[in-house]
Amino acid sequence: MRYIEGALHVMLLGSIVITGTSACGSGTIRNSASEETRSDTLNDLPDGAYSCEAFNATRGNGPYSLDCDKFGSSVTIHFSNGGYVEVDVDLETTADGFAWNITGTNADNGEEWEIAISR
């Protein structure tokens, strides 16, 4: 009789552990689904001033933590020395739960920039 009680106790604890593991696993799935990248247009990002990470993809410089201004289909990247670069951006951009990921070209010199604006 004591053996049966011990076996039932182990089975009961085992089912609790399995249930708890399943619940944790489903939470992980929900979290990863909420971080999926989706496609948005740049028009969905309001015009204004933002903190950003900017990377010059042509020269391989950066990333730099800077201030950016978005207006219409352009983003102006402001450097700490007072200089700036105006980038014409693609209207199709990607956004995830953390940042808008924007690619664009400086019309003056043809350099490509990758810009991430935090949400």
The per-residue DSSP string of 35-78 comes to T--EEEEGGGSPSEEEEEEEEETTTTEEEEEEEEEEETTEEEEE
**Domain match, 24 and 53 both:** no
Do both 73 and 45 map to the same domain?
A: yes
Judgement on whether residues 30 and 46 belong to the same structural domain of the protein: no
In tens, the pLDDT along 44-102 reads 889 999 999 999 999 999 999 999 999 988 999 999 999 999 999 876 677 777 788 88
Does 90 lie in the same domain as 71?
Answer: yes
The answer to whether residues 47 and 20 belong to one domain is: no
Note down the domain range covering 24: 2-34
Q: Which residue has the higher pLDDT, 8 or 85?
A: 85
